[in-house]
Amino acid sequence: MNAQQLWTAYTTILVKEVLRFARIWVQTIIPPVITTALYFVIFGNLIGSQIGDMEGHRYIDFITPGLIMMTVITNAYANVVSSFYGSKFQGNVAEMLVSPMPNWIILAGFVSGGVARGLAVGLAVTLVSLFFSTLSVQHIFITFTIVLLTSVLFSLAGVINAVYAKSFDDITIIPTFVLTPLTYLGGVFYSIAMLSPLWQNISLLNPVLYMVNGFRYGILGASDMSIWLSYSVIMGFILLLGGFSLYLLNKGIGIRS
């Protein structure tokens, strides 16, 4: 396939993925916005007013980057895992694998769809957060690249979950028992400096911690760790999951019967 054909194949998958969640925006965009607004009201206004400042920032301002990142992570993941599994179940993925289209184009199309939904929901939540918090982005480039790379990472994770899923129940296991605990324990509502040395070291094993802190640094200029360490961890996981996802597609694992 030449460059024009590759671009057409990629944009076809991407447009399909974007239209998939855009057509039902009441189900895909609005619910996470409402949920996050409740977080702002309960944790930000009610509880936050009793906590005081966190690392020199109002508590509601401190948790805002984490709440935005949390919605980006869950929606980027959810979009790909449900879409890819549905396409696999209907046999669409198998048909694409036997077409002249390279497997990396298939992967890029689905991942880009997850990134699009993650960023769309993240933007919507950011706009809502302006009613509760006074956001002042300190480092625009860092803020955008961290959220973009995080969306790519969890979109890849969604592909892997969908490949191994044998039923719709299987696509809820990872979000429930892995993704949710990692997110809530990833420094969204607190600084790891508040923890004992033992739990600080344990927290460093949580990859979400680096994403939340990297994004928080981009917005507030405050972080529990080096921004370069955050970039290194995110890029490392992207290369690992990206390579593994492409391997699964090349082998047809979980797709070809």
pLDDT tens per residue across span 43-59: 777 776 677 777 778 88
Q: What is the pLDDT of residues 108-119, one digit of tens each?
A: 999 999 999 999
What is the spatial distance between Cα 90 and Cα 57, in angstroms, rounded to a whole number? 50
At 257 the pLDDT is: 55
**Mean pLDDT estimate for the chain:** 90
Q: What is the pLDDT of residues 45-101, one digit of tens each?
A: 777 667 777 777 888 889 899 999 999 999 999 999 999 998 888 888 888 888 889
pLDDT mean over 151-164: 95
In 195-213, which positions are buried (b, 16+ CB within 10 angstroms) versus exposed (e)? eeeeeeeebeebbbbbbbb
Q: What is the pLDDT of residues 170-181, one digit of tens each?
A: 888 888 888 888
